[in-house]
Amino acid sequence: MATRDDNRDLGFGSVVSQESRRRLVNRDGSFNVVRDGLPRWSSLSLYHALIGLSWPRFLALAAGCYVLINGLFAGLYLACGSGSLQSMEPFPIADPFLRAFFFSVETFGTIGYGNIAPVGLGAHVVVTVESFAGLASLALATGLMFARFARPTARLLFSRSAIVAPYQSTSAFEFRVVNLRRSQLLEVECKVILSRIEPRDGKPFRNYYTLALERTKVSFFPAAWTIVHPIDGDSPLRGATRDSLLAEDAEFIVLLTGYDEAFAATVHTRTSYKPHEIVWGARFADLFNHGDPRGVLSIDVARLHQVVPAPLPEPAEAGEASR
C-alpha cells in the first residue's frame, strides 16, 4: 500500500515544495535548489569542488594550473634581468620567455638537467620559492588524486524512460537499473516517492507518497533490476493518466542504497522521472543474451533503454491508465 507523508517534504522544505515549478531532483541526482544571499566566499569549498569535478574537467584544470604556474615563474625569472639565467651550452630556443618557461618546468618538477642555471640573488630566491611551491603542489595533487580514487560512489545506470506496463491483471509503474562497475553491490534497497500537487483547503499543495514496490530490496545485484510498483486499488496512480500527471506536476523520486564490496562502504544514488519521461503501454526489451556460447549468464546493457509496445488492460481493470 502506498502511504501519503503528510508531514514530510524529504528535506526540501515546504516553501520549495510548493513554489518550485522545476523538477526537485535532476536525472543525475543533483537538486534544483539555489542558495542566494550568501557572502561571496562563504559557500566556496575548493576541496569539495575539486573532488566533485568530473575526471576530464579535473585533468584539464590541473594541466591549466600547471602551465599557468610555470608561466608565472617564467615571468619572474625575466623580471630578474636578462642575465638571471645562463647556460653552459647554447640554448636551442632563442625566445627568452620559452627559455625561462622550460627552466621553470625543470625546477618545478625537480628535474634539473643542468644546462641552465640561475645567476644572482633574485633568480636564486625565485628558484627557492618555486622549489617549495613544486613540492607543495605535488603533495596536494597526490592527495586529491587519491581522494578521488578512494571516494566511495555508486555508478548505476537508470533507464532513460520509466514505463506503465501490463502487470498480472492490472498495470505497473516500472523502471530498471544496472550496475556499470565490475564490483558487486550487496543489500541494494530502493525507495520510490511520488510527489504531486493536489488541492488542500482550496489551495494547491504538494503531497508525497511512498510507493509500495513489488520488491524493495535485493541481496545481490549481479545483473539488472526492474523496480515495479503495481497500480492496484491502493496505489495513488490508480486512475492516473499522462495528462493528469502533467497537470499535477508529478515527479517520481528514486533513492537507491547499497553496500559496495570494493569500497567496503555504503553508497547512494538518486534520480527522478517526470511524466514526459514515462512511456505508457510498453514493456522493457529483454536484456539477457540467451544461449551464450560461454555458458554464462550475460546481459546486453545497450538494451537497457529499449521498450516494446504492450497493450494495457482495460481502464476498469488497470485504473484507467492510457496513452
In the chain, the domains with their CATH numbers are 3-34+153-318 (2.60.40.1400), 46-150 (1.10.287.70)
- pLDDT on residue 151: 83
Residue 21 binned pLDDT confidence (cut-offs 50, 70, 90): low
What distance in Å separates the CA atoms of residue 269 and residue 153, rounded to the nearest whole number? 8
- pLDDT on residue 319: 42
The answer to whether residue 233 scores a pLDDT higher than 50 is: yes
Q: Which residues, in sequence order, are bridge partners of residue 208?
A: 195
Report, as an integer, the average pLDDT of 253-272. Answer: 91
Tell me: the pLDDT tens digits for 294-307? Answer: 767 788 888 999 99
Tell me: the pLDDT tens digits for 121-137? Answer: 988 999 999 999 999 99
- pLDDT on residue 118: 86
Report, as an integer, the average pLDDT of 124-152. Answer: 90
The answer to whether residue 278 scores a pLDDT higher than 60 is: yes
- pLDDT on residue 308: 94
What DSSP character marks residue 30?
A: -
How many C-beta atoms lie closer than 10 Å to residue 76's C-beta? 18
Residue 254 binned pLDDT confidence (cut-offs 50, 70, 90): very high
Q: Which residue has the higher pLDDT, 91 or 285?
A: 285
- pLDDT on residue 318: 40
Q: In this structure, are residues 241 and 255 in contact, taking their beta carbons and an 8 Å threshold? A: no
Residue 115 binned pLDDT confidence (cut-offs 50, 70, 90): confident
Tell me: the pLDDT tens digits for 75-113? Answer: 999 999 888 888 767 767 778 898 889 889 988 988 877
Helix or strand run (H / E) with residue 64: helix 55-79
Q: How many residues does the chain have?
A: 323
Tell me: the pLDDT tens digits for 191-221? Answer: 999 999 888 888 888 889 999 999 999 998 8
Mean pLDDT is lowest, of 77-91, 156-170, 221-235, for: 77-91
What distance in Å separates the CA atoms of residue 247 and residue 70, rounded to the nearest whole number? 57
Report, as an integer, the average pLDDT of 164-188. Answer: 91
- pLDDT on residue 280: 95
What distance in Å separates the CA atoms of residue 24 and residue 249, rounded to the nearest whole number? 11
Average pLDDT of the chain, as a whole number: 84
Report, as an integer, the average pLDDT of 248-275. Answer: 92
The answer to whether residue 1 scores a pLDDT higher than 60 is: no
What distance in Å separates the CA atoms of residue 276 and residue 83, rounded to the nearest whole number? 69
The answer to whether residue 322 scores a pLDDT higher than 50 is: no
Residue type, 59: L
Report, as an integer, the average pLDDT of 138-155. Answer: 88
The answer to whether residue 20 scores a pLDDT higher than 80 is: no
Residues of the chain with pLDDT > 70, as a percent, come to 84
C-alpha cell at 79: 623580471
Residues of the chain with pLDDT > 90, as a percent, come to 47
Q: Could you tell me the CA-to-CA distances from 250 to 126, 233, 241, 272 in Å, in that order?
A: 61, 19, 11, 10
The answer to whether residue 240 scores a pLDDT higher than 60 is: yes
The answer to whether residue 267 scores a pLDDT higher than 60 is: yes
- pLDDT on residue 44: 63
The answer to whether residue 189 scores a pLDDT higher than 90 is: yes
* 3 state DSSP class of 318: helix
